[in-house]
Amino acid sequence: MSAALAETPAGRVFHALGDPTRRAIVERVSRRPLSVSRLAGPLGITLTAVAQHLRVLEGCGLVRTEKLGRVRTCRLDPEGLTLVSRWADECRSLWERRLDRLGDLLAEEN
Amino acid sequence: MDLSATHDTFVLERTYPKPPDRVFAAFADPAKKRRWYAEGEHAAERFELDFRVGGIERQLFRLGENTPFPGTAITTEGRHEDIVPDRRIVISSTMSLGERRISTTLATFELVPEDGGTRLVLTHQAVFYEGADGPEMRKGGWEKLLDQLGAWLEE
């Protein structure tokens, strides 16, 4: 994936789901909300590692976490994969890049 | 099913140090247009351009292996609605993801001579279909994603 696409909202979702552990987290919380420690157990990774993955997933809107009492619960964010609704933003940045490439092309011509 | 349509308009401007006829040529010549329009982060698998009023422009590219929908085709089919040499180009086009229409847009490119160069103004008006924001599409998108996640996890 190019750097330009990686910086778009959809690109961040693609990047987040490129990691097998994060895909496993998304799949598990899509069935029901889970605490961080219950998430970490079967994945065989530390709570710190889970927290890092959750930050990535929260950052691109795929997963939401909330603290209830002493337990942090993770759930799927139904808004997160509106890849298509992100198309409005995608369109604009796509055209920004196209017009820049048009400028590059014109600059090459003499 | 939610049949809401959402609308979005934006305006982009660029100034290029080349006269309008050179900028216009980058829209009229298929080889040139392909370079700035259809290549870049994703090289289009197919690009066709028939530059005349009523002429069709088609683009197809596929989402890569590192996306949630690998191999899915994104197609854009546009029609040149108005062409004024060196001054204006208007294209209406519909974008689809697989079989589903995502959006229809009207793109107006105005070329304004300015200090020996050209100011290009793009006014981009879009309607995003219920797929763009509706719960059905959201649900469908999730279901498809989760099916694919399941397939990946079983591999």
CATH number of the domain bearing residue A61: 1.10.10.10
CB contact under 8 A, A2 and B41: yes
Whether the CB of B46 is below 8 Å from some CB of chain A: the reply is: no
User: What would the 3-class secondary structure string for B62-126 be?
Assistant: ECCCCCCCCCCEEEEEEEEEEEECCCEEEEEEEEEECCEEEEEEEEEEEEEEECCEEEEEEEEEE
Average pLDDT over residues B3-31: 87
B12 in reach of chain A (CB within 8 A):
yes
Assess if residue A97 is contained within a domain: no
Contact between A91 and B64 using a beta-carbon 8 Å cutoff:
no
Specify the length of chain B in residues. Answer: 155
Domain containing residue A41: 3-85
List of chain B residues whose C-beta atoms are within 8 Å of the C-beta of residue A86: none
| Residue A43 C-alpha, separation from nearest chain B C-alpha, in angstroms | 13
Is B119 in CB contact (< 8 Å) with chain A?
Answer: no
Contact B22 A106 (CB under 8 A): yes
* Beta carbons of A47 and A40 less than 8 angstroms apart: yes
Q: What count of CB pairs under 8 Å joins A to B?
A: 118
Over residues B55-69, the mean pLDDT reads 76
For residue B30, pLDDT over 50 is answered with: yes
**In this structure, is residue A102 part of a structural domain?**
no
Q: Does pLDDT of A72 surpass 80?
A: yes
**In this structure, is residue A90 part of a structural domain?**
no
B65 CB-near residues (< 8 Å, 6+ apart): none
pLDDT tens track for A45-64: 888 899 999 999 988 888 88
How many independent structural domains does chain A possess? 1
Is any Cβ of chain A less than 8 angstroms from the Cβ of B132? yes
- Weakest-pLDDT range from A28-37, B24-33, B142-151: B142-151
CA A82 to chain centre: 11
**Position A91 in a domain:** no
Mean pLDDT over each residue of chain B, to the nearest integer: 79
Q: Which long-range contacts (CB under 8 A, 24 or more apart) does B141-150 make?
A: B141/A81, B141/A82, B141/A83, B141/A84, B142/A30, B142/A76, B142/A78, B142/A81, B144/B69, B145/A81, B145/B68, B145/B69, B146/A27, B146/A30, B148/B68, B148/B69, B149/A17, B149/A23, B149/A26, B149/A27, B150/A27
Q: How confident is the model at residue B149 (pLDDT cuts 50, 70, 90)?
A: very low
Quote the CATH superfamily of domain B6-154. Answer: START domain (3.30.530.20)
Q: Read off the tokens for B76.
A: 């854009």
Q: Is B60 on the interface with A (CB under 8 A)?
A: no
In a domain, residue A75? The reply is: yes
Its pTM stands at 0.61
